Structure 1
Amino acid sequence: MSLQICILTPDRVFWNQEAEEIILPTNTGQMGVLTNHAPIITALDIGIMSIRTQKDWTSVALMGGFALVKQNQVTVLVNSAESKETINSSEAEQAFLEAKEQLEKALGQKEKVEANFAFKRARARYQLVS
């Protein structure tokens, strides 16, 4: 038995396949899901979701959202999702370094929050390609 994984963004179905196991980036840390997992709804942080199919592991950058696990079906609703193939590694590295610098320079509370979100997005994309 396997999990049916569906990753939805506002504009498309990003992933709709079966998997043996997933690891989600939740707001409280990583959460693994196997078949027959207890039903749960969880908030997702910006980060990497790992998906294990019968062949191998696939990683996807998620830009925050929610996940519903119920009866071996996992529905992931996210603001955005990206695969490794769609990201230019040198651009991702440059964006990560710039976001890190902006986070260190941020002064006000609003500026720090915005810089932190930009840093998390850039870090997720960079981790995916490195």
Structure 2
Amino acid sequence: MTLTLRVLAPDQSVFDATADEIILPSTTGLLGILPGHISMVTAIDFGVLRVFKNGNWDSIALTGGFAEVESNEVTVLVNKAELGKNIDSVQAEAELEKAKNKLSQTQDKEASPEKIKAQEELNKAKAWFQASKSN
């Protein structure tokens, strides 16, 4: 038995295929989904969705959104997503360093809009970098 996984962003369908196992980056931690999983809806955090199929793991970088599990079908709706194999790891690492530097420049500010935006950019950069290294 397999799962059907659809990962959708506003501008594209990123992934639409079957999988043996899925690991979602929910806002409460990593969530493993196997065939026969109970129906549920969960919030998705910045992170890497892992897809196990035919003995191999693939990665998809995600920004926030939602996932629904229903009758062995998993639908993930996110603001942005990209297959790990399509991410340039050198560029992703450069973006990660840039985001770390930007956040360090806002450390003296309490929960300012600049600091919140810098933290969000860092979270996205981490997800893209991790996904680029996972394939």
Q: Residue 13 of structure 1: CA displacement?
A: 1.4
CA distance in 2, matches of 1:17, 1:55: 15
Alignment-derived partner of residue 32 in structure 2: 32
Q: What per-residue deviation string (whole Å, max 9, x for no partner) do you get for residues 14-43 of structure 1?
A: 111010100000111100000111111000
Aligned pairs for 1:9-20 (under 5 A) are: 9-20=9-20
Alignment-derived partner of residue 72 in structure 1: 72
Greater mean deviation of Cα atoms: 101-110 or 111-120: 101-110
Q: Runs of 4+ in structure 1 displaced over 3 angstroms? A: none
Give the gaps of 5 or more residues in structure 1. Answer: none
RMSD: 1.1
How many residue pairs end up in the alignment? 130
Alignment-derived partner of residue 119 in structure 1: 122
TM normalised by structure 1 equals: 0.95
Give the gaps of 5 or more residues in structure 2. Answer: none
Alignment-derived partner of residue 101 in structure 2: 101
Q: What per-residue deviation string (whole Å, max 9, x for no partner) do you get for residues 49-77 of structure 1?
A: 00001231111101111000011000000
Q: Residue 83 of structure 1: CA displacement?
A: 1.4
Aligned pairs for 1:35-50 (under 5 A) are: 35-50=35-50
Q: Residue 118 of structure 1: CA displacement?
A: 0.2
CA distance in 2, matches of 1:33, 1:118: 28
Q: Residue 87 of structure 1: CA displacement?
A: 1.7
Greater mean deviation of Cα atoms: 44-53 or 4-13: 4-13
SS of the equivalent of 1:61 reads strand
TM normalised by structure 2 equals: 0.91
